[in-house]
Amino acid sequence: LGSRKERTLAMIKPDAVTKVGSIIQMVYDAGLIVTKAKMTKLPGKQAADFYIEHQSKSFFNNLVQFVSSGPIIVMELMGDEAVSAWRKVLGPTDSGVARKDAPSSLRAQFGTDGTKNAGHGSDSLASAARELEFFFPSTAGHGPTNTAKYQDST
Ligand code: DGI
């Protein structure tokens, strides 16, 4: 009892890519492991697709513009309650709030404000499944249904 292995999708956003060393240290310090990782760039259309649940929000355009503004690093993390464990490492969504409420969190240390907030983590097991498939699509048995998803341009 008590041990529930999960996978989650972690993203280092463009403003924090140069901090990848410190951030991977935070992953392992939290008891999680990195099981997949890649550096890539998200064109605006794919960023909008990734954040589709927020399309009606006032901050949507800023969000999409920001995450597509430069390279990102996406990782599959694994460990006990990885979804909530990684979100605890991230800290509050707004980096200004994070600096007050969780000063050692990733967003407190490496983010700037409510938009430029250094990192992302899936918020549930269901979104983790969707987001991992988005960045690390399983090819076996899926065929053409994968064509709408992110594809590396390299
Ligand atoms: O899961 P989170 O990233 O912590 O937060 P979320 O899923 O509610 O929102 C996704 C991203 O959208 C978040 O990392 C930053 C941006 N965002 C959310 N709420 C606001 C926001 N950006 C601005 N400018 N203002 C907001 O209120």
Q: Give the residue extent of every domain in the chain.
A: 5-136
Report pLDDT for 139.
80
Cα gap 150→107, rounded to integer Å: 26
**In a 3-state reduction of DSSP, which class is residue 4?**
coil
Q: Is the pLDDT of residue 144 over 90?
A: no
As annotated, the active-site residues are 120
CA distances from 48 to 12, 24, 105, 115 (A): 17, 26, 26, 15
The Å distance, Cα 61 to ligand 1 centre, comes to 11
Query: Residue 3 and residue 18: Cα distance in Å, rounded?
Result: 33
* Pick among 3.30.70.141, 3.40.50.620, 3.40.190.10, 1.10.10.10: CATH of 5-136: 3.30.70.141
Report ipTM for this prediction: 0.97
Of the pLDDT bands very low, low, confident and very high (cuts 50, 70, 90), residue 142 is low
pLDDT per position as a tens digit, 50-93: 999 999 999 999 999 999 999 999 999 999 999 999 999 999 99
Among 50, 59, 94, 113, the mutation site with the greatest number of ligand 1 atoms within 8 A of its Cβ is: 59
CA-90 nearest atom, ligand 1: 4
